[in-house]
Amino acid sequence: MSNPDLEQLAAHAEAVREKYESERQKRLRAEGNDQYVALSEIKDFDADPYTPLVEREALTVTTDVLIVGAGWGGMTTAARLTQSGVNDFLVIDKAGDFGGTWYWNRYPGCMCDVESYTYLPFLEETGYVPTQKYAQAPEIFAYAQLLGRHFDLYPRAVFQTEVVDAVWDEDSRRWNITTNRGDRIAARFFVICGGVLHKAKLPDIPGITDFEGDAFHTTRWDYSVTGGGPEQAMDKLSDKVVGIIGTGATAVQAVPKLAEASKQLYVFQRTPSTIGPRNQQETDPEWFAEMSSKPGWQQERMENFSDMTTGRKPDIDLVQDAWTDLLGEDLKRIPNDAADAEGLEILNVKKMDQLRERIDEIVLDRETAEKLKPWYKVGCKRPCFHDDYLPAFNRENVTLVDTDGHGVERFTKGGVVANGQEYPVDVLVFASGFELLTFYTHRLGFDPKGEDGVPLSDAWAHGPSTLFGTNSRGFPNMFMNSPIQGGQDINFSFPIGQASKQIAYIIAQVLKRGCTKVEPTPEAQDDWFSVIAGTVLPYGTYLANCTPSYLNNESAAPTDYEMKLGAYMGSVRDWLAILEAWRQKGDLEGLELQP
Ligand code: NDP
């Protein structure tokens, strides 16, 4: 290399690489995911603060389809079943209403982090116009209720109910499902839409149950403590010292609201997030009418956003936001040669430099600004975008407690210990995230028993086996809407909606053909795994030297199970094309059907 500018850039990139590695080393923890404990394991933390329990009689019913999960997965599956002419189904959920994530996440400031015009399912069918480019959580929850009414799902909903067991009965060719409300449901088909990031977790550190003040996870926000509501200022915090643990996508949205309301706010940080600009906009109804005038507009917009954020470079950027700007180049691809690798690394550093410079421009205190700087590659953690998060640190009543990668050490009766110092707090908020790569049945909270009574946890002990992520041999008539060997995208609702289409199609086909049993062949599963494995390599290689996070299994060495857990990591559009071509062929290739 003889160009002095390039030499300088390469030297800078090398220095940054070393900094990334030293910061990563600080955060490596032998216990990986075991550093967390599920919210449900700590008494009282997991209770539903939003809907009082309604007593009801236990159900004894038969139905064609039982769907578990009333979030986007369950709702879009139900809607697609209806569109396919399958109307005999029930939807069960632990929550008190539709919405899934948007039922539970009511923390102040909660909003969709991708554009609502591409995110909210079925906008074309409902004709709903989101009020803002990034819809706020109450609007999204209300939209879930609207979808429930639009597709007439309420009469088929069984809320405040958790599946405790599901057993395949070969004689009747049905799943026998029991619940915590004493229900007994016999269903031809059992569809698990158990959510993606739904099982909340807490740091498993000493003293968590000793704290005597008010404490809750962001996904169970306690407005009786804070006052106010998702859309009203919290009026009970003006004399309270509040601590928030975590600085991920949730905290980034909640901190500005807590900063406005609290007497004093401590933000306990282990690893900073990247904070790009948000540029929230009200929806211009004329623009929306024009933009949505062509049939198929929303699918096109979802596809365009996916292409823009996976480096496929379509001719036009329909969404034009900080996501498409940040991820317009595919930084995770395997480089062609050494020069290409260097170019990719320099580009990556430049993008992160811009984000670090943005902190210097906004945060006034130099020491705080330095501590807020993220030292890892683009996308090692889910990128965040917000216009009020960084300015919150300019307030007198907000203190960043950076733990230099070590995290909070323990809790006392009256506060939080970090960096060897106790910080007394009245209210403790855990923005400590959700499980992603833990064992599927652990996250579901039940363990389906398939043919010969074999539990899914045994069948998958050495890793999942599926066809397209939706069906697994040995578990006839059972379907999964999940990223395990399925599709994934920045816009979660896109692959979820596509898996629903696939599941509804197969169920409708099996019924139409007068069959009673469907499951994939072993060969089809093996073939599918080969396809998956081919897509995981570039992404896995990229994430391998990332700072630990739920995306890379907290950097712990993968178990056999985790080795096979990956989603289709190529573009979701390729996964979608595979499914569409498969449905077009119409012969249900790879599935075994029995009369
Ligand atoms: P994350 O897992 O992203 O964040 C958890 C935070 O807790 C991290 O900052 C983590 O630090 C921190 N933490 C864990 N243990 C400790 C400890 N002992 N001491 C101090 N800090 C600790 O969870 P989020 O809920 O923020 O986000 C999860 C995902 O949910 C997002 O990535 C996104 O996909 C989704 N989400 C989507 C939204 C939307 O609008 N669509 C909004 C909010 C969330 P460290 O980084 O070091 O691990």
Average pLDDT, the chain: 94
Q: Take atom 13 of ligand 1 and give the residue whose Cα is closest.
A: 246
Does 42 map to a domain?
Answer: no
- At 460, which CATH number? 3.50.50.60
Cα separation of 48 and 429, whole Å?
A: 16
Q: Are 435 and 537 within 8 A, CB to CB?
A: no
Atom of ligand 1 at shortest range from CA of 205: 18
Cα separation of 205 and 29, whole Å?
A: 13
What spacing in Å lies between the alpha carbon of 486 and ligand 1's midpoint?
A: 23
What spacing in Å lies between the alpha carbon of 275 and ligand 1's midpoint?
A: 13
Q: For 78-92, what is the mean pLDDT? A: 97
Q: What does residue 493 show for φ and ψ, rounded to 5 degrees?
A: -70, -20
Whether residues 493 and 559 fall in one domain: yes
Q: Are 181 and 58 within 8 A, CB to CB?
A: yes
Output the ligand 1 site: residues, CB below 6 A.
Answer: 27, 111-113, 197, 203, 205, 245-251, 253, 268, 270-271, 382, 407-408, 431-434, 549-550
Does residue 10 register a pLDDT over 80? yes
pLDDT confidence of 43, banded at 50, 70, 90?
A: low
Does residue 191 register a pLDDT over 90? yes
More confident residue, 311 or 157: 157
Cα separation of 126 and 123, whole Å?
A: 5
Whether residues 184 and 216 fall in one domain: no
| Eight-class DSSP state of 57 | P
Q: Take atom 19 of ligand 1 and give the residue whose Cα is closest.
A: 407
Whether residues 399 and 442 fall in one domain: no
Cα separation of 595 and 592, whole Å?
A: 10
What spacing in Å lies between the alpha carbon of 27 and ligand 1's midpoint?
A: 15
- How many CB atoms neighbour CB 521 within 10 A? 14
Whether residues 494 and 584 fall in one domain: yes
| Model confidence pLDDT, tens digit, residues 416-467 | 999 999 999 999 999 999 988 788 898 899 999 999 999 999 999 999 999 9
Cα separation of 305 and 300, whole Å?
A: 9
Does 48 map to a domain?
Answer: no
Ligand 1 pocket mutation, candidates 250, 252, 274, 410, criterion most atoms within 8 A of CB: 250
Cα separation of 518 and 397, whole Å?
A: 60
| Model confidence pLDDT, tens digit, residues 245-263 | 999 999 999 999 999 999 9
Ligand 1 pocket mutation, candidates 72, 119, 247, 266, criterion most atoms within 8 A of CB: 247
- How many CB atoms neighbour CB 500 within 10 A? 27
Does residue 333 register a pLDDT over 60? yes
Give the side-chain half-sphere CA count within 13 A for 49.
Answer: 20
Does residue 378 register a pLDDT over 80? yes
Does 492 map to a domain?
Answer: yes
Task: Tell me how far the alpha carbon of residue 499 is from its chain's centroid.
Answer: 15
Does residue 561 register a pLDDT over 80? no
Whether residues 529 and 394 fall in one domain: no
- How many CB atoms neighbour CB 219 within 10 A? 24
pLDDT at site 247: 98
Among residues 397, 430, 463, the one where a domain terminates is: 430
Cα separation of 462 and 34, whole Å?
A: 19
Does residue 77 register a pLDDT over 50? yes
Does residue 1 register a pLDDT over 60? no
Q: Take atom 3 of ligand 1 and give the residue whose Cα is closest.
A: 248
Does 324 map to a domain?
Answer: no
| Structural domain boundaries enclosing 582 | 60-198+436-594
Whether residues 423 and 456 fall in one domain: no
Q: What does residue 527 show for φ and ψ, rounded to 5 degrees?
A: -60, -40
pLDDT at site 29: 87
Minimum mean pLDDT range among 66-80, 321-335, 581-595:
321-335
What spacing in Å lies between the alpha carbon of 363 and ligand 1's midpoint?
A: 22
Q: Looking at this protein, which amino acid is placed at residue 248?
A: G
| Model confidence pLDDT, tens digit, residues 263-277 | 999 999 999 999 999
Ligand 1 pocket mutation, candidates 197, 202, 216, 493, criterion most atoms within 8 A of CB: 197
pLDDT at site 9: 87
Minimum mean pLDDT range among 191-195, 211-215, 317-321, 485-489:
191-195
| Model confidence pLDDT, tens digit, residues 172-185 | 999 999 999 999 99
Whether residues 447 and 560 fall in one domain: yes
Choose among 18, 106, 35, 2: nearest CA to 407. Answer: 35
Whether residues 262 and 369 fall in one domain: yes
In the chain, the number of structural domains is 2
Minimum mean pLDDT range among 98-102, 240-244, 566-570:
566-570
| Eight-class DSSP state of 58 | P
Whether residues 211 and 350 fall in one domain: yes
Q: For 48-76, what is the mean pLDDT? A: 97
pLDDT at site 559: 79
Does residue 2 register a pLDDT over 80? no
Helices of type H across 403-521? 440-444, 456-459, 493-512
Q: What does residue 27 show for φ and ψ, rounded to 5 degrees?
A: -100, -5
* CA dihedral for 372, 45, 561, 70, sign (positive or negative): negative
Whether residues 388 and 494 fall in one domain: no
| Model confidence pLDDT, tens digit, residues 573-591 | 999 999 999 999 999 999 9
Q: What does residue 557 show for φ and ψ, rounded to 5 degrees?
A: -60, 130
Does 296 map to a domain?
Answer: no
Q: Looking at this protein, which amino acid is placed at residue 561?
A: Y
Choose among 135, 117, 134, 493: nearest CA to 288. Answer: 117
Helix (H, G, I), strand (E, B) or coil at 360: helix
**pTM (predicted TM-score):** 0.95
Q: For 557-564, what is the mean pLDDT? A: 77
Please, which residues bridge with residue 62 across strands? 186
Q: For 165-170, what is the mean pLDDT? A: 98
Cα separation of 288 and 17, whole Å?
A: 44
Atom of ligand 1 at shortest range from CA of 548: 48
Does 566 map to a domain?
Answer: yes
Choose among 388, 422, 126: nearest CA to 251. Answer: 388
Whether residues 460 and 406 fall in one domain: no
Among residues 430, 465, 486, the one where a domain terminates is: 430
What spacing in Å lies between the alpha carbon of 320 and ligand 1's midpoint?
A: 25
- H helix or E strand, kind and range, residue 215: strand 214-217
Ligand 1 pocket mutation, candidates 37, 103, 105, 270, criterion most atoms within 8 A of CB: 270
